[in-house]
Amino acid sequence: MSEELVRLARQVGREAASLVRARRPEGRVDVTATKSSPTDVVTAVDTASEELIRSRLLGERPDDGFLGEEGDGIEGASGVVWVVDPIDGTVNFVYGIPAYAVSIAARVDGVVRAAYVTNVASGEEWGAVRGAGSWRWVADERRALTPQPVAELSQALVGTGFSYSREVREKQAAAVGRLLPQVRDVRRIGAAALDLCSLAEGRLDAYVEQGLKPWDVAAGGLVAHEAGIVVTGLDGAPDERLVMATHHALAEEYFEVVRACGF
């Protein structure tokens, strides 16, 4: 079943990525609304992408549920819920920074089983099926992801991100300030799904972020997990309070440092 879900996720995700690509004008994109804060933006293309994804997925599988960033949730009756970010990295999309993604995960009875992420600007695509690994697609070939750990935490390149809330940001900035002297450097790329796929690729060594929503983490989290990355939260499953991730070889030490930094 998971294979069938990942096949559908890719088919629909590619169609959404084409729409996002085609509708991005030169220069800056207009913002149509804001959400949790004035910097948390939505464009007409986020909404159009989500509508397309929802109608295609539920057109094929009408009994499934749907949880998307921009619209109302649908509970469904099949046990499958699609968790979707129609544009992860909307601020990058608005500015034309080439790091924004379509992210689609299939959660079956509460567990993410299949995942698809594509960087719309570069055309890179990643997929995962729980228990069967994660890969990057090169045309239709699946190349397995097997990132190598760095030898020491001091050599780790760490991805992070900041909440849209001013108060949370103040705390995050302080915690990142304590982490920075202990690692190689920090990157704030601006799309959590791509950060997690970058970990799976070995383009980042570790990751930490607070305030992420399920659609930011669901697909990229499975891609990373299936590549041997431990993705966790403060006390168990990753959640809005905290997502931290790294190669299992560094996990114990890194997670302890993240906690000590006050994330």
Looking only at the bridges linking them, the beta strands covering 185-187 and 157-160 are parallel
198 binds ligand LIP (CB under 6 A): no
Task: Using the minimum distance from each CB to ligand LIP, give the nearer residue, 149 or 196.
Answer: 196
The two beta strands, 101-108 and 111-119, are antiparallel
According to DSSP, the residues that pair with 138 across neighbouring strands are 141
Q: At closest approach, how far in Å is the CB of 160 from ligand LIP?
A: 8
Residue 188 amino acid letter = R
Q: Which residue has the tokens 């697909």?
A: 219
Residue in the shown chain whose Cβ atom is closest to ligand LIP: 161
Task: For residue 10, give the DSSP letter.
Answer: H
Q: Tokens 């982490």 — which residue? A: 179
Q: Which of residues 140-179 bind ligand LIP (CB under 6 A)?
A: 161-164
Closest approach, Cβ 93 to ligand LIP, in A, equals 8
**Could you tell me which stretch among 51-59, 85-93, 170-178, 198-206 binds ligand LIP (CB under 6 A)?**
85-93
By beta-carbon proximity to ligand LIP, the closer residue of 190 and 228 is 190
Question: Judged by CB under 6 A, does residue 17 bind ligand LIP?
Answer: no
Q: Closer CB to ligand LIP, residue 32 or residue 155?
A: 32
The binding track of 89-128 with respect to ligand LIP, each residue x by CB under 6 A or -, is xx--------------------------------------
User: Is the distance from CB of 196 to CB of 207 less than 8 angstroms?
Assistant: yes
Footprint of ligand LIP on 42-81 (CB under 6 A) = 69
Nearest CB to ligand LIP, comparing residues 52 and 61: 52
Q: Residue 137 pairs with which residues in a beta bridge?
A: 142
Please, is 12 exposed, middle or buried when counting C-beta atoms within 10 Å of its C-beta (0-12, 13-18, 19+)? buried
- Helix ranges, the chain (H): 2-22, 44-60, 90-95, 166-179, 192-201, 214-226, 251-261
The residue ranges that bind ligand LIP (CB under 6 A) are 69, 85, 88-90, 161-164, 190-192, 209, 211-212, 216
